[in-house]
Every structure is written in C-alpha cells, then in structure tokens.
C-alpha cells in the first residue's frame, strides 16, 4: 500500500481541503493525524472492522483498548450508557484538551474498539487538524498513538512515516505536536475518580475542578507492583527504545559523575553509549553522543522532546542510553512514568 503524506498548515486547518482524509475514515480506512499530545492512528470508532485494522497496523495486542476522539460533548453522551456527573465539569474545564475520560459504554461502541471492555475511553483533542478530521468525516475516531506497538509515541509526522509507511493509506502532517506525552486518563466509572495514566492535566488540577478526592491508580506508581494497572495499556513495556535505557537519579554532581563513569566503562567494552542530559549539565559529560532534552526549568520542553530523543538514539544505533531523571514539579510524574516504562524500571539512585 502506498502511504500518502498530506502537509497541512495547522493555522490554516479550517480552510484546508481534508475531504480525501475524511472519506478514507468514512470508508473504514486508517488515517494518521496530529493531536496536541502525540500523533494518532485513526479509524471509524463505531465499525468493528475499522478498529481491527488499527490493531493490525500497529501490531497492538487486541486487549489494549483505543481512545475514541470526539469533537462535541454530545458525542460522549451518544456512546455512554450513562454520563457521570463529573464528565460535564471536566469537559468544561479541560476539553478540548489532553484529558481522556473512561465511562460505561453503550451498544453503539463495538468491543473491537474497547478491547472487549464494557467501558470506553473518550477525549476531545485540542488540535485544529484533529477536530477538522473528526467533523468532516462525521465519525467518532478511534485512535491510539500512531507508532508500531512498543516503539516511542510519534511527535512528528516523520516518526509516523518511519513506523507506518506502506501500512496505512494516509498521514496528515500538521508539524510537531505541542505537548509530546499522551493524555491523562481519568476513570469515572467508580465512586471515586481515579487517574489511570498521568499526563499534562495533573491530579491537583482535576481535584480543583471536581472539588472531590481524585485517586491515582496504585498500579502505575509502584515500580514492581503486584497490583495490575487498570488501564490495560499501562501493563505493557511501552514507549521503549531499542537501546537499553538506564535512569540515574540523585544530587546533580553525583549523577554526572556516575553517568560519566558507567558510560566510560561501557564504551571501553565496545558499546555505543548515548546520554540524555539537560542544557545545564550538557557540558559536563564526555563523549559525542550526549543530547540535551532542554532546560531543566522548562518541563514542557522536556516532555515535548522525550520521545523524539529516544527515537534519535535508535536511529544512531545506540546500545545503551543513560538518562538523568526529571522529577519536575508539575508534570514530572507523567514524564517519569514514561521514562521508567521505557527503561523497564532500571533506575540507579546515587
Ligand atoms: P494510546 O492511545 O496508545 O496511548 O493507548 C490508549 C490508552 O488508553 C491505553 O493505555 C489503554 O489501556 C487506555 N484505555 C483505553 N480505553 C480504556 C478503558 N476502557 N479502560 C481503561 N483504560 C483504557
Ligand atoms: Mg500508545
């Protein structure tokens, strides 16, 4: 299959002709598109055979449900068995935006889309190209991240092309995404709302809007928890680069010293070593393959660059990557959740 890449100026998305992409979605085909979090791989969410194609193209386990992308709050109402009282409050505060809500599904939503679950994940993306594609197609668009299962999520169209070329008919290229890590997922099907995946929207922001307790799924915090995470996707070794990734945390001077020592040992053993540093620490590392993820004070930049860096090290053929740790104040939990998973929880505390 030939993959067509269509460039769209996001600022002009409202005027750009997206008929061809919309028609593909209506025909039950796949279209990759930008959102504000990462690129999504979209299909008609209400057609079982369309959803099935997503799993096939990604090589995704079929028990890992998809997120349904919508353009109006009424679309959530139309696929939910009941609308939880918190949903409207959260939508008013954060939609369109990087928040996914889990609600009980009704019969319109096929089990192919929900990985066999009775609940469905719903989100209204804050991206003009995504919203236009949903509206123009007249469909609800099921979309997981547009990467091959197990690879870092794509934050640029080129990443999607790298993974999906020849597997899907179309990629909409709307440039680099703004946030760079996947949406926060909140489960509204139980008495107390629970965060199943941390993201740009934090526990504190959710609590503030709801005026009630919001819990975090214990399965996603503990490193070697017995407890299974409730979002099926969180149990997989996701977001993984090909190289072995090892995090080093602690006082900055000691972190630098440790990474330099370990990197030196590995290089001496003939390994190709990469280092993820920050603008502040960059110059203190020896060796060519050191890349800055951004300024430590700019956590949005750290989130935005993370997956791109992991992909770059793959392209350079790194065997081992050492990374500083980024437990930054606001979205540090979301960043560290992705990094820890990519590292298979290999972390050295100094
Ligand atoms: P992705 O879009 O690739 O980030 O994957 C979607 C994420 O949403 C995965 O981690 C899924 O496990 C999670 N998810 C989707 N639907 C549900 C659901 N009904 N219940 C819990 N988690 C879900
Ligand atoms: Mg994904």
- CATH number for position 97: 3.90.870.10
By C-alpha distance, which of 4, 22, 183 is closest to 90?
183
Predicted local confidence at residue 17, as pLDDT: 82
Is the pLDDT assigned to residue 15 strictly greater than 70?
yes
Between CA 23 and CA 320 the distance in angstroms is 44
Closest CA to 244 of 337, 174, 344, 330: 344
Instruction: List CB contacts of 288: < 8 A, sequence separation 6 or more.
Output: none
22 and 160 inside one domain: yes
Nearest CA to 84 out of 210, 199, 219, 208 is that of 210
pLDDT value of position 226: 63
* Protein residue closest via CA to atom 7 of ligand 1: 233
In a shared domain, residues 88 and 154: yes
pTM: 0.95
**CB-defined site of ligand 1, < 6 Å:** 64-65, 67, 102, 114, 117, 119-121, 144-145, 182, 185, 196-197, 230-234
**Domain hosting residue 283, numbered range:** 244-349
Q: Is the pLDDT of residue 224 over 60?
A: no
pLDDT in the model for residue 237: 61
Tally of domains in the chain: 2
CA of 145, closest atom in ligand 1: 3
Best probe residue, ligand 1, of 196, 236, 239 (max atoms within 8 Å of C-beta): 196
* pLDDT digits 0-9 by tens, 110-160: 999 999 999 999 999 999 999 999 999 999 999 999 999 989 999 999 999
Same domain for 151 and 107, yes or no, is yes
**215 and 291 assigned to the same domain:** no
User: For the ranges 93-102, 151-160, 243-252, 285-294, which has the lowest average pLDDT?
Assistant: 285-294
Sequence-ordered list of residues with C-beta below 8 angstroms from that of 342, at least 6 positions apart, any chain: 152, 238, 239, 240, 241, 245, 310
| Helices and strands (H, E) in the chain, number of each type | 12, 16
Residues 87 and 11 occupy one common structural domain: yes
State the distance between the two ends of the chain, measured CA to CA, in whole angstroms.
50
Distance set, CA 323 to CA 150, 202, 333, 343 (Å): 19, 24, 16, 9
Please give the mean pLDDT across all residues of the chain: 94
Give burial (CB, 10 Å; 0-12/13-18/19+) of 323. Answer: buried
What is the pLDDT, as a whole number, of residue 222? Answer: 61
Residue 150 Cα to ligand 1 middle (Å): 14
- Predicted local confidence at residue 242, as pLDDT: 86
C-beta neighbour count of 288 within 10 angstroms? 10
pLDDT category at 191 given cuts 50, 70, 90 is very high
Q: Are residues 136 and 14 in the same domain?
A: yes
pLDDT category of residue 238 using cuts at 50, 70 and 90:
low
Atom in ligand 1 nearest the alpha carbon of residue 230: 21
184 and 258: one domain? no
- Is residue 318 domain-shared with residue 179, that is, in the same domain? no
Segment 202-212 shows an average pLDDT of 98
What local confidence, expressed as pLDDT, does residue 304 receive?
A: 97
Predicted confidence band of residue 236 (pLDDT cuts 50, 70, 90): low
């Amino acid at each position: 299959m030939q993959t067509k890449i269509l460039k769209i100026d996001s600022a002009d998305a409202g005027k750009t002709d997206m008929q061809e992409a919309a028609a593909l979605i209506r025909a039950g085909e796949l279209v990759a598109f930008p959102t504000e979090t990462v690129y999504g791989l979209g299909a008609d969410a209400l057609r079982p055979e369309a959803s099935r194609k997503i799993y096939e193209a990604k090589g995704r386990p079929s028990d890992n449900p998809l997120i349904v992308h919508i353009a109006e709050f009424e679309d959530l109402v139309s696929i939910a068995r009941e609308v939880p009282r918190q949903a409207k409050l959260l939508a008013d505060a954060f939609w369109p935006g990087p928040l996914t809500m889990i609600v009980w599904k009704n019969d319109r939503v096929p089990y192919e889309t929900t990985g066999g679950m009775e609940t469905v994940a719903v989100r209204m993306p804050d991206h003009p190209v995504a919203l236009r594609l949903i509206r123009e197609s007249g469909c609800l668009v099921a979309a997981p991240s547009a990467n091959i299962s197990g690879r870092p999520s794509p934050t640029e169209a080129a990443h999607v092309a790298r993974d999906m070329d020849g597997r899907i008919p179309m990629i909409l290229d709307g440039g680099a995404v703004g946030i760079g890590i996947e949406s926060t997922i909140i489960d509204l099907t139980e008495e107390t709302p629970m965060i199943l995946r941390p993201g740009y929207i934090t526990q504190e922001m959710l609590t503030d809007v709801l005026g009630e307790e919001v819990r975090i799924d214990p399965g996603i915090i503990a490193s070697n928890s017995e407890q299974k995470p409730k979002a099926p996707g969180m149990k997989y070794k996701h977001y993984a680069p090909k190289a072995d990734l090892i995090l080093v945390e602690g006082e900055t001077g000691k972190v630098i010293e440790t990474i330099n020592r370990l990197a030196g040992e590995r290089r001496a053993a003939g390994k190709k070593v990469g280092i993820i540093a920050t603008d502040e620490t960059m110059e203190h590392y020896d060796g060519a393959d050191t890349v800055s993820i951004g300024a430590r004070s700019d956590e949005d930049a750290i989130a935005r660059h993370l997956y791109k860096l992991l992909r770059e090290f793959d392209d350079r053929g790194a065997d081992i990557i050492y990374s500083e740790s980024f437990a930054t104040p606001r979205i540090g939990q979301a960043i560290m959740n992705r990094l820890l998973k990519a590292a298979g929880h290999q972390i050295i505390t100094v």
